[in-house]
Amino acid sequence: MLILLLLISPTDKLTEKARTARHITSGESASTSDPFGIIKIRGGEYIVHNGVWGAETSQTVTVYDTDVCKFNVTHSNHSQNHVASYPAICKGSTWGLTTTGWKSIPINELEYATFNWSVNSYRPSGIYNVAAESWFSSDLDTSSGYSGGGELMIWMDTRGMVPGGSKVGDFGFYEVWYSLVDHNYICYYMTGQNSAEIDLLDFINDALSRGYLNSTWYLHDVEAGFEICSGGEGLMLESFNVSVQGKATISTTAPTAPTTPTAVDSPDILIYLGISGLMAIVIILIALKLKKR
């Protein structure tokens, strides 16, 4: 049985609870069962969030080494037909939380945006997908969500789910699905994959060409994980790496031409030459006087 993804915005619950999320910052391993618990990876360069925003049932994520971009869903008690949670790893600014060193960049100022990720091939029972996503909006402040902006998802696999909205076309091997909620939802849909190397700009440019994104909107984050409706215990993300860079600022000021020195352009030099000349005359006169003797 396929479950059509219901597009329920997580904005209200996330913005209400993210401020009180428990931050786990140190130790070789860490886990959280807090619905909005956060585990910092590599000192905060990445974060793993439990992300239980659509249910009251329990879930736990575990990181076995906080220096490695990897996490496990070690407990999941969800049992419903719409998304209960999105346990994921993130780099960027997500619902008011910003990873170390991140700066949101307008789409039209991106030099490159790439990421790669992989998941374990084990597929436990349940209804869920394997999905990455990025959020876009015109506002640098993400604490109130991304209303009026865009959510771009890339599905790598699914068990019992299809994207929300309707299919509007194809992009390479991906189906493209779209729906308008309080933001533009764009999903690039594929199944049967465990790993991918993604040039995010290719997907962004396709969404721009369809009118679903605006080139002045900021790219706020890159995330990868699992949207879970039911089951999903044992899902594991094994690797994740993000590289985003803005275009370099090039100065348009013309260089100043070097000045050409004149033969004599200093009063000090003139004084020096005058004194030297007088000394020479004195020496000559003395020499002539001595010669007469």
Mean pLDDT by 10 residues, the chain (293 residues): 59 50 65 98 97 98 98 98 98 96 98 98 98 98 95 98 98 98 98 98 99 99 99 99 90 52 46 51 53 52
Q: 42 — alpha (psi -120 to 50), left (phi > 0) or beta?
A: left
Q: What angle do CA 215, 185, 75 make, to 5 degrees?
A: 125
Which amino acid is located at 192 in the chain? G
Q: Does domain 3-246 have CATH number 2.60.120.180?
A: yes
Residue 160: CB atoms within 10 A of its CB come to 16
Q: Are 189 and 53 in contact (CB under 8 A)?
A: no
Predicted local distance difference test score (pLDDT) of residue 264: 44
Return the structure tokens found at 269. 């030099």
Predicted local distance difference test score (pLDDT) of residue 113: 99
Residue pLDDT, tens place only, 165-186: 999 999 999 999 999 999 999 9
Which amino acid is located at 33 in the chain? S
Q: Are 50 and 37 in contact (CB under 8 A)?
A: yes
pTM to 2 decimals? 0.80
Predicted local distance difference test score (pLDDT) of residue 6: 57
Predicted local distance difference test score (pLDDT) of residue 20: 46
Each domain of the chain, given as residue ranges in start order, spans 3-246
Predicted local distance difference test score (pLDDT) of residue 274: 54
Taking the C-alpha atoms of residue 173 and residue 191, their distance in angstroms, rounded to an integer, is 10
Predicted local distance difference test score (pLDDT) of residue 209: 99
Q: Cα dist. 19→30, 33, 162, 275 in Å? A: 20, 16, 31, 81
Q: Are 207 and 135 in contact (CB under 8 A)?
A: no
Residue 226: CB atoms within 10 A of its CB come to 24
Residue 219: HSE in the Cβ half-sphere, 13 Å Cα cutoff = 31
